[in-house]
């Protein structure tokens, strides 16, 4: 492979040279590239927050947004605990259509270059076993709701998800359907990813650079920064004499199955990179 510069396909009505990025100089070694599916991204994002913005419809059909806390049922459905006194509750009683936006905590850089998901569907009041599960899910996520969950004006609503839109940041976005969302597993390492990323960047920049050169095909990389970590691998940002390459993937030998799996998986990547350099 001798590709030097790749023009990323884009629908933006803009000069195409803005989207030229350096590609790998050799064929990436080893494990086939693997990334989370849009459904896995969405499930992981929803699972790892307890706060979102709910969009509902007023009596006049106007769109109305409000902040809500939520828990998550095993099938990924969000559970809200809402007061009859709140406008969104009156809205939902009039029209059950709703959507929930959950966003990652903002990081450095452009505020829109980080993950969020929109779940759209209809709310229902759960009954029987579903009600018991909804109550447990909400209290697990928001323990302080114990204080008001039994107030007479509060009810539990479950959003039955019909449509899912995931946006990972600039140029990373996709839609998925209710079935794929429900069947996707939340990424177990997400709660530990932010710590792992800073640790790698602060203490193991040399190992990241070796991964970029030996495993990702960027033999001319001069600096590597980890920007994302998930159960399947790491995304690196690389400096090369040909420019900056974003979202360069290095894939783990095996996906992580445990919350604390990132450490062993990245140590294994570093070993593979060192072995390839020595070969």
Binding site for its own copies (CB under 8 A): 11-14, 18, 50-51, 53-57, 61-69, 83-85, 87, 97-101, 103, 106, 109-112, 116, 118, 120, 142, 144-145, 147-148, 150-153, 165, 167
Residue placing its CB nearer to its own copies in the complex, 118 or 190: 118
Least Cβ distance, residue 209 to its own copies (angstroms): 26
Least Cβ distance, residue 137 to its own copies (angstroms): 15
Residue placing its CB nearer to its own copies in the complex, 65 or 243: 65
Least Cβ distance, residue 145 to its own copies (angstroms): 8
Least Cβ distance, residue 74 to its own copies (angstroms): 22
Count of CB atoms situated within 10 Å of the CB of 214: 25
Residues written for the chain: 279
Kindly provide the b/e burial profile for residues 147-185, where b requires at least 16 CB atoms within 10 angstroms of the residue's own CB: eeeeeeebbbbbbbbeebbbbbbeebeeebebebbbebe
Dihedral sign, CA of 86, 51, 46, 104?
A: positive
DSSP at 75: T
β-strand partners of 159? 123
Residue placing its CB nearer to its own copies in the complex, 47 or 118: 118
Least Cβ distance, residue 63 to its own copies (angstroms): 4
- Alpha-helical segments (H) within 146-278: 178-183, 190-203, 205-214, 262-278
What are the backbone angles phi and psi of residue 208, rounded to the nearest 5°? -65, -40
Q: Distance (Å, rounded) from C-alpha 256 to C-alpha 191?
A: 13
What are the backbone angles phi and psi of residue 151, rounded to the nearest 5°? -60, 145
Residue placing its CB nearer to its own copies in the complex, 20 or 64: 64
Least Cβ distance, residue 110 to its own copies (angstroms): 4
Residue placing its CB nearer to its own copies in the complex, 10 or 253: 10
Residue placing its CB nearer to its own copies in the complex, 178 or 215: 178
């Amino acid at each position: 492979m001798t590709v030097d510069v790749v023009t990323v396909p884009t629908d933006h009505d803009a000069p195409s040279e803005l989207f030229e990025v350096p590609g790998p100089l050799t064929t990436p070694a080893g494990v086939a590239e693997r990334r989370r599916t849009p459904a896995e991204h969405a499930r992981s994002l929803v699972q790892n927050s307890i706060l979102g913005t709910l969009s509902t419809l007023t009596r006049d059909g106007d769109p109305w947004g409000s902040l809500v806390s939520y828990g998550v049922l095993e099938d990924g459905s969000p559970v809200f605990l809402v007061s009859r006194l709140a406008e969104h509750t009156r809205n939902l009683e009039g029209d059950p259509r709703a959507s929930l936006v959950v966003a990652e905590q903002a990081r450095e850089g452009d505020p829109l270059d980080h993950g969020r998901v929109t779940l759209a569907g209809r709310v229902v009041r759960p009954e029987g076993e579903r009600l018991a599960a909804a109550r447990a899910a909400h209290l697990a996520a928001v323990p302080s709701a114990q204080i008001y969950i039994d107030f007479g004006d509060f009810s539990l609503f479950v959003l039955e998800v019909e449509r899912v839109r995931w946006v990972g940041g600039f140029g990373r976005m996709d839609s998925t359907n209710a079935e794929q969302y429900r069947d996707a597993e939340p990424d177990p390492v997400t709660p530990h990813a932010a710590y792992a990323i800073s640790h790698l960047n602060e203490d193991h920049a040399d190992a990241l650079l070796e991964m970029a050169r030996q495993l990702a095909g960027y033999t001319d990389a001069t600096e590597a920064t980890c920007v994302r970590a998930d159960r399947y691998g790491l995304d690196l940002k690389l400096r090369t004499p040909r420019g900056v390459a974003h979202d360069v993937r290095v894939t783990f030998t095996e996906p992580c199955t445990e919350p604390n799996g990132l450490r062993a998986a990245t140590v294994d990547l570093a070993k593979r990179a060192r072995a390839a350099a020595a070969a």
